[in-house]
Amino acid sequence: MSQSYRWVIVAAGGLLGCVAVGAMFSLPVFLRPMSQDTGWSVTGISTAMTIGFLAMAAASMVWGNLSDRYGPRPVVLTGSIVLAASLALASRADSLIEFQLLFGLLVGAATAAVFAPMMACVTGWFDTQRGLAVSLVSAGMGMAPMTMAPLAAWLVTIHDWRASMQIIAAIAAVLMIPAALLVRRPPALEAAAAKTEATEVTQGEMSVGQAVRSPQFITLMLANFFCCATHSGPIFHTVSYAVSCGIPMLAAVSIYSVEGLAGMFGRLGFGVAGDRFGAQRVLILGLLAQAFGVLAYAFVGELAGFYAVAVIVGFIYAGTMPLYAVIIRENFPLKMMGTIIGGTAMAGSLGMSTGPLLGGLIYDRFGSYAPMYVGSWVLGLAAMLVLWSFRPFPEKRAELAVA
């Protein structure tokens, strides 16, 4: 298949990620209308998002392994169908527990079916410009707050939350199912099926079991966990912190928009830098910068200061995320990309789940968010030190990763 098709894979991955992530993160938009209509508590509805993160963590490695076995297309297609169906079913939930299960478990698990398989697929299609490619897919996912969230906000002004969620479900089906059908297994994996048995034995020198027990895999999982734990608290609590500083709610919410816009440029900038200077080197510097970036929030109290820090933090944390996939592609065989990327995504989802809870507990205990930002700084330094300890496989195995 023509190498030009690899950019179709990138476009499909970006669209799939944007719609899937956007559909899941539409829940905060529906939060108040849902609570007013049903009488369910805000905490109870929000718990569906926490369940969603945990479902993403549990499902990431499973979906990744299935994409290694059967190819990315059936996995992404299944996830697209389940996502649309579960959104439609959640919109008709009659009880809070029913909504939490339908939205939290199913939507979270279905969203995970997109990230690891598509990242693995894209890394397999690119031998050059790999950092840029995965960053573009990640940028598509980063578009969700600027596309799907405003759409959801507009829908709830003219419909009730149930009808709005059903429309989101229909949009997800219409956009994601055709995009999933465009996904193809990387040519190198297609060619592998036709190789001789002797060649297959050579390529199989590193088994999946050996890979997931390797120090390299464990190091990347720990680094991604600490990395995501670093920015999860600031992402979830910065608006609340800004409001506590006397900034009006609408202005405080705009801090997220600034952070998201900066993140778009960060993904592309880090992707290009990773291709030029090496993904691990750029990621280590990015993690160090992220640690001090989130700490800077503790020293601002005016809107201009929040905007300035949001530009820096958004650029950095969004830019670092795609580089994990590049490092994985450089060190592990292509045939297990889905499983390995799924494992690191699982660790990242667990890291993301820590911020909302711990940040809330810290604020309730100290009456201030400053200790949370200091804690995030410590976690950021831990992420940097863990990745600094990463050592690539010996040259022989590194060559297998290219095969």
pLDDT 10s digits, 36-58 = 889 888 778 878 888 888 898 88
Indicate which CATH number applies to the domain containing 46: 1.20.1250.20
Are 180 and 222 part of one and the same domain?
Answer: no
- Mean pLDDT confidence for 193-212: 60
Are 185 and 243 part of one and the same domain?
Answer: no
List, for residues 100-152, the tens digit of each pLDDT value: 999 989 999 999 999 889 988 888 888 777 788 888 888 888 787 777 878 88
- Mean pLDDT confidence for 17-37: 85
Q: End of a domain among 168, 194, 220? A: 194
The four Cα atoms 106, 111, 114, 115 give a dihedral, to 10 degrees, of -130
Are 70 and 119 part of one and the same domain?
Answer: yes
Are 365 and 264 part of one and the same domain?
Answer: yes
Are 295 and 315 part of one and the same domain?
Answer: yes
Classify residue 244 by burial, with Cβ atoms within 10 Å: 0-12, 13-18, 19+: middle
pLDDT for the residue 395:
60
- Position 187 pLDDT exceeds 90: no
Classify residue 60 by burial, with Cβ atoms within 10 Å: 0-12, 13-18, 19+: buried
Whether 112 and 350 have beta carbons less than 8 Å apart is answered as no
Mean pLDDT of the chain: 86
Residue-number span of the structural domain to which 207 is assigned: 203-402
Q: Which amino acid is located at 342 in the chain?
A: G
Are 286 and 252 part of one and the same domain?
Answer: yes
pLDDT for the residue 50:
80
Are 136 and 230 part of one and the same domain?
Answer: no
Considering its fold, how many domains does the chain have in total? 2
Q: End of a domain among 194, 218, 243? A: 194
- Position 400 pLDDT exceeds 50: no
Q: How far apart are CA 167 and CA 24, in angstroms?
A: 14
Are 128 and 222 part of one and the same domain?
Answer: no
pLDDT for the residue 198:
41
Phi and psi at 31, nearest 5°, equal -55, -55
List, for residues 293-342, the tens digit of each pLDDT value: 999 999 998 999 999 999 999 999 888 988 998 899 889 888 888 899 89
Q: End of a domain among 174, 194, 214? A: 194
Are 12 and 140 part of one and the same domain?
Answer: yes
- Mean pLDDT confidence for 72-83: 95
- Position 399 pLDDT exceeds 70: no
Q: How far apart are CA 401 and CA 178, in angstroms?
A: 31
Are 152 and 296 part of one and the same domain?
Answer: no
Q: How far apart are CA 325 and CA 341, in angstroms?
A: 6
Phi and psi at 129, nearest 5°, equal 55, 30
Q: How far apart are CA 317 and CA 272, in angstroms?
A: 15
Q: How far apart are CA 202 and CA 197, in angstroms?
A: 9
Are 110 and 222 part of one and the same domain?
Answer: no
Q: Which amino acid is located at 145 in the chain?
A: P
pLDDT for the residue 192:
58
Are 312 and 369 part of one and the same domain?
Answer: yes
